[in-house]
Structure 1
């Protein structure tokens, strides 16, 4: 047995890798989370047909070694390990991210805290696994199972982001000074999600596990979660929250969840009576409920709920029959405009009014874009919609611009000639925040088609170039969203788009955007409270029933007129 800590290099001289080394570290998550991650990764590897060797550290960490028959490049190995890190929050990908110095402490090596790495796999089994090693087909199967996570890794590289940057932001949130930076950067929600994943928290912010649990539960309650969703998350992605409970989950969770709901309800700002009457609990595009912002209302244009639904159905017919074709001629903004009009119709149906006063940031969350982009697109949409969308009032203070949505006379015949279609109309569903607008439009065309369309049919119906369309189809087929059958494309009904959005990181991205906009709105409202001059009513300026001055009696008319002149 070696007397000093020792480790072996992972990469060969040429940068190739013959063994994937998965380092589950207690410095990144609690020991119970490490154990859960080891079991989860072991099941994932076994399902793919990959045999592995496992050891444990005196500190509570775990190592999983996956030997390969054929070496892979450092980039390929790093990509797989980074994808696995999205499935296991305690997995440290650093050894595979450093080609020259990446190393791992192997079974039998001395540990700096005392003791040695302990081999968990029986010695004879470990010898056989390391001798026979795993075939390339098994690694290919693992990559197929990790398709969403691999797509997420590549997407982050394309957008210039790294998991290390996300980890740094999380560490800043754990530090007392970083907490202030975190508040300024609006990363509080992501910090709480990190606590829920890893079970680690800043002891200067939360004095005990109980306070950390309540902070996480308050966050989930504010996100309109249910207790069943919390239970499901604790069994999978948010194992850190389960670690904070230990063996007391069943007894304490219902009690603390009730407290979190009560606390969140008390902190929710009250709405004006007129807004409370119009509030709807319906959910749009798998997002939290969005309410009117308080723009002007005109009783003359208000319609019944049934007439609003009929108007939206007619406008959907007009959209797919005429407006989509018109928008295709508008250049680079065409696809964004097509989804913006879909978002308008979705909000129209939910709010049950043809007067729409939804702000740019609300549309930005629904479309996965920046609010500045929405502010630029809305005037273009008003101009290109041929009278469907008309601004009737400009936003002031806390209120957004108000738009009137109606069916122009020139489109009435088109609305009558087409039958209403079943199904919801969506803006951008969360999964397409990562996959992009082209994929969203392609998926919608497949989903709404009367018959399974071919690639040529999709090119004609969407107006997208064949190259861009082929890339979108390939990506969605890899993720299991669609499949090709006898040359035609079909949507796979068994694929859960919400779960896929979670694995692609779209849910976290959307939540970060909501948090950022929430802080921006709070800052804007605070500025208004400090600088906005209150608008006084006429009776507050002058009351006719109160004498504000007194003139002495005048005997002579000339003196009376002179006194009035002087008073004036």
Structure 2
């Protein structure tokens, strides 16, 4: 049932068959507000002052609250109210938003602690939002920067394309939590006519491949660029050899290293995902020499860069010769690590078959759900057969209570489902869209911006000490005679006699 206010607002009435307390109603409305930006949760956020004008009420500036739904239909809606099962289905559909609300409340409930050093620079506020995401959500943009709605929406589309979104995800965002992007088009007809064309332009702009410049001898594009060699006796492994090596190392990880790192206490989960992240970068960069910086790894794992700097040497020691540090960090280059398969593990790799699927670090959705949930999901996703609870506990090395909590939470989010005693991954659930609904991407963007500023400050500091090349012509003064002419023989004889 719906009514209309003279100020332009609307009220939606959902009558319930059973009484719902104020706290539960507030939680549901706040979860809906996270999905619909134009919804005002204010009337449900307190008990004493949450009254609204019912249809027929006089408005303060003149006019009346008008019932839009026909009276007969409204009477039927009020007579046949929604049962408790419908409320449960609504709560199930809003599971990601409810989980996000609990996370926000937990952050606000934490006492403010005094943080010093570099850890104080890490943003933990959930209110941090990228400017382009705010434009997509509200439709409001800076007119000094964007002269028209066309430029503003192209900037938003370029941002989504750079984040590796697809056109279907953009359409789902327009229909969901980014209604401002739809407002920038002005009408549905204009959106339908221009969206695909403008998205193709955004993809072509942000994902184009830049050809290498002629005569370049190095590749210092960022902290993780690999230096180009000049040839000689270096035999670089082929792409097929690198992928085969990564497959073998994955088998070693699941068969040996995971069980060895389970015994290392609290840092064991961090070490296991750090090794997975290195294998992922190794496959992506197609090389066995990795110079990935701590901040890059911290962004991939959702951790602080100081934690990564502490875990890397520990991982080298427990990797059984797989990871070896071959060069220290210098200027803009990070530490260089060689990843190889030791001779004493080669026979084991021949006896194990490769696993299907792709290895990951911490995917964005598990920043909200936690690393134990990521291990449980990986055990279901990459298991050789659909696992039971006992299989997951043995494969992950996590306690039964932690595994059961992770399974219950992921099942509520429809990431997994149970068939008898066995667990399966729900293929229709998009983890990227789920991460957006959980509000994780704001924290990811904030961490990327922070590290970008820190790198820029470090590079500016290094540039102060660049040695200027001094040429021979720079040392010569054309106004000064710097050549000495020897005296003639008579003058030399006179000088000698005088002496």
Q: TM tier, shorter chain?
A: 0.7 to 0.9
- Cα offset, 1:115, TM superposition: 2.5
Which residue in 1 is equivalent to 2:115?
none
Q: Does 1:446 align with 2:380?
A: yes
What is the SS of the residue equivalent to 1:104? Answer: coil
Q: Deviations over 1:449-487 (max 9, x none)?
A: 222222112111211011111111111111112222222
Q: Residue 507 of structure 1: which of 436, 441, 448 is its match? A: 441
Partner of 2:46: 98
Displacement, 1:502? Answer: 2.3
Which one of 305, 310, 323 corresponds to residue 389 of structure 1? Answer: 323
Tell me: CA distance 1:130–1:535, structure 2 relative to 1, closer, same or farther (3 Å). Answer: same
Q: Structure 2 length as normaliser, TM-score?
A: 0.82
Partner of 1:10: none
Q: 1:387 to 1:271 in 2, by over 3 A?
A: farther
CA distance in 1, matches of 2:421, 2:277: 32
* CA distance in structure 2 between the aligned counterparts of 1:260 and 1:482, rounded to whole angstroms: 34
Further displaced range: 395-404 or 320-329: 395-404
TM-score (norm 1): 0.73
Q: Distance in 2 between matches of 1:324 and 1:338?
A: 7
- Return the offset for 1:509: 3.0
What residue number does 2:22 align with? 74
Residue 64 of structure 1, aligned match among 12, 23, 28: 12
Q: Which stretches in structure 2 are left out of the alignment for 5+ residues?
A: 111-124, 493-499
1:474 corresponds, among 404, 408, 415, to 408
Q: Does 1:195 align with 2:143?
A: no
Match of 1:145 among 72, 93, 99: 93
Stretches of structure 1 lacking an aligned partner (at least 5 in a row):
1-52, 163-184, 280-289, 560-568
Of residues 73, 78, 84 in structure 1, which corresponds to 2:32? 84
Q: In the aligned structure 2, how far is the partner of 1:466 from the partner of 1:113?
A: 61
Further displaced range: 324-333 or 476-485: 476-485
Distance change >3 Å, CA 255–CA 124, structure 1 → 2: closer
**Which one is further off, 463-472 or 532-541?**
532-541
Q: Offset at 1:104?
A: 2.1
User: 1:309: how far off?
Assistant: 1.4
What's 1:517 paired with? Answer: 451
Bigger shift: 97-106 or 415-424? 97-106
Q: 1:244 aligns with which of 169, 184, 187?
A: 184
1:157 is aligned to 2:115: no
Alignment of 1:462-501 (within 5 A): 462-501=396-435
Q: Deviations over 1:95-138 (max 9, x none)?
A: 22223322323222333444322211122332343344322121
From 330, 354, 360, the equivalent of 1:420 is 354
2-structure distance, mates of 1:503, 1:187: 15
Offset at 1:327? 0.7
Pairs within 5 Å for 1:292-441: 292-294=224-226, 300=234, 302-441=236-375
Post-superposition Cα deviations, 1:263-318, rounded to whole Å, max 9, x if no partner, equal 7689x998894677x99xxxxxxxxxx99334686974732212211211111111
In structure 2, how many angstroms separate the alpha carbons of the residues matched to 1:160 and 1:263? 40
**2:72 aligned residue:** 124
| Distance of 1:464 and 1:326 partners within structure 2 | 14
Supply the distance in 2 between the matched residues of 1:400 and 1:155 (Cα, whole angstroms): 34
CA displacement, residues 167-220 of structure 1 (integer Å, 9 cap, x when unaligned): xxxxxxxxxxxxxxxxxx999962221221222335565454334324323433
2:19 partner SS: strand
Q: Distance in 2 between matches of 1:75 and 1:348?
A: 49
Contact kept, 8 Å, 2:43 with 2:50, in 1: the verdict is yes
- Residues 17-63 of structure 1, C-alpha deviations (whole Å, 9 max, x = no match): xxxxxxxxxxxxxxxxxxxxxxxxxxxxxxxxxxxx21122232221
| Alignment partners' CA distance in 2, 1:460 and 1:307 | 32
Asked if 1 retains the 8 angstrom alpha-carbon contact of 2:223 and 2:293, the reply is no
| 1:534 maps to 2:467 | yes
Distance 1:360 1:127, change over 3 A: same
Q: For residues 409 and 434 of structure 2, what CA distance do their matches in structure 1 show?
A: 13
2:121 corresponds to which residue?
A: none
Could you tell me how far apart the structure 2 residues matched to 1:498 and 1:255 are? Answer: 24
Question: Which has the higher relative contact order, 1 or 2, with Cα contacts under 8 A spaced 6 or more apart?
Answer: 2
Kindly indicate whether the alpha-carbon contact (under 8 Å) linking 1:295 and 1:400 is maintained by their aligned counterparts in 2. Answer: no
- Tell whether the 8 Å contact from 1:186 to 1:516 is kept in structure 2 after alignment: no
Q: Distance in 1 between matches of 2:475 and 2:317?
A: 45
1:109 matched to 2:51? The reply is no
CA contact (8 A) 2:218 2:227 kept: no
